[in-house]
Amino acid sequence: MNLTKEQLLTMYRQMWTIRHFEDEMAAAYMEGKTPAFDIGSGPVPGEMHLAAGQEPVAVGACMHLRKEDTVVGTHRPHHFAIAKGIELNKLAAEIFGKATGLGKGKGGHMHLFDVEHKFSCSGIVGASFPPACGAALAAKKMGKDWVAVAFAGEGAANQGSFHEALNLAALWKLPVIFIIEDNSWAISVSKRQSTAIPDNSQRAAGYGIPGVRVDENDVLAVYEVVGEAVQRARRGEGPSLIEVKTDRLYGHFQGDPELYRPKDEVPTLRANDPILRFGKQLLEQGFATQSDLDAAREAAKADVDAAFAFARQSPYPAPESALEDVFVS
């Protein structure tokens, strides 16, 4: 492992930042929604897709990225945004619909845009692949060694956009990495019910590019596999496809009754929490002391608390501002 202690602790802290962010968001989301749940009520209305449990994918992958590399995320985007370095304050404020948010309250949780950190995402399944190809194409045309990463869920690998983008990227040798988060569920439909083969990374063969499956929800395993793909892309050798087995600890959206899900599934996943496992590994291998871990976790919590306080204290946008920004001025 070529990671320093400092880098390892950065990863650990980032995973906790994501987890705290999602857990705090789950709590904020329920404000104003009890006793009768109404999706449009409370300080955080609308759909809410949380990524707790999927931290290893975002953190393991984004550790390899620079500010000038592009990330395109999904409808479940917070972990990617945080791992790519988006300011927590602006992220939280956008989700609270505030004027200080990334999109001045216009985008919301599924539609986060940060030009500075070259991050975007979409509420449409399968929409990440083509724009990542475009970012990679631009880097190539401009003679830069920048790469682009498209994240998507396993359900998105059944969209036409996935197959078209893979072919295009392979054909043009684009510096793009396609990373599939296999959390087993496309809302209520399991991968087995929806996908003709068990392992999406095998689909890389159809486009003559490397395809690797990471079978464990493990941040270092993701780090290693994505590292090879990023280096390959930077060297101008073209795209790669990676599928990571990961775990969705919450429902598809907050309020999802999850009647389709086996009852013991989430407790089993929680018992195998990827952040706790990583911490244990760092301790056992002597990369960190318990006080290092505690400090990282507490710092993450403090960052998240500050971001939520900022979001809550920020003003709402003026209603008439809804009419602005259809076009740039």
Query: For binding to another protein (CB under 8 A), which residues are involved?
Result: 37-41, 45-47, 94, 97-98, 103, 105-111, 122-126, 155-156, 158-161, 186-189, 193-195, 255, 259-260, 316-323, 326
By three-state DSSP, how is residue 47 classified? coil
Question: In the chain, what's the furthest Cα-to-Cα distance?
Answer: 57
Q: How far is the CB of 43 from another protein (least distance, A)?
A: 9
Q: How far is the CB of 120 from another protein (least distance, A)?
A: 13
Q: Which is nearer to another protein, 37 or 67 (CB)?
A: 37
**Residue 205: CB partners within 8 Å, gap ≥ 6?**
211
Q: Which is nearer to another protein, 98 or 117 (CB)?
A: 98
From residue 278, give the alpha-carbon distance in Å to each of 12, 61, 204.
Answer: 7, 15, 29
d(CA 30, CA 115): 31
Q: How far is the CB of 232 from another protein (least distance, A)?
A: 28
Q: Which is nearer to another protein, 286 or 319 (CB)?
A: 319
Q: Which is nearer to another protein, 232 or 252 (CB)?
A: 252
Bridge-based pairing of strands 119-120 and 185-186 is: unpaired
Q: How far is the CB of 193 from another protein (least distance, A)?
A: 6
**Residue 172: CB partners within 8 Å, gap ≥ 6?**
133, 137, 140
The sheet carrying 211-214 orders its strands as: 113-114, 119-120, 70-72, 148-153, 176-182, 240-245, 211-214
Cα Rg of the chain, angstroms: 19
Q: Which is nearer to another protein, 82 or 156 (CB)?
A: 156
Q: Which is nearer to another protein, 113 or 172 (CB)?
A: 113
Q: How far is the CB of 8 from another protein (least distance, A)?
A: 36
Spatial contact of 22 and 51, defined as CB atoms under 8 Å apart: yes
Q: How far is the CB of 123 from another protein (least distance, A)?
A: 4
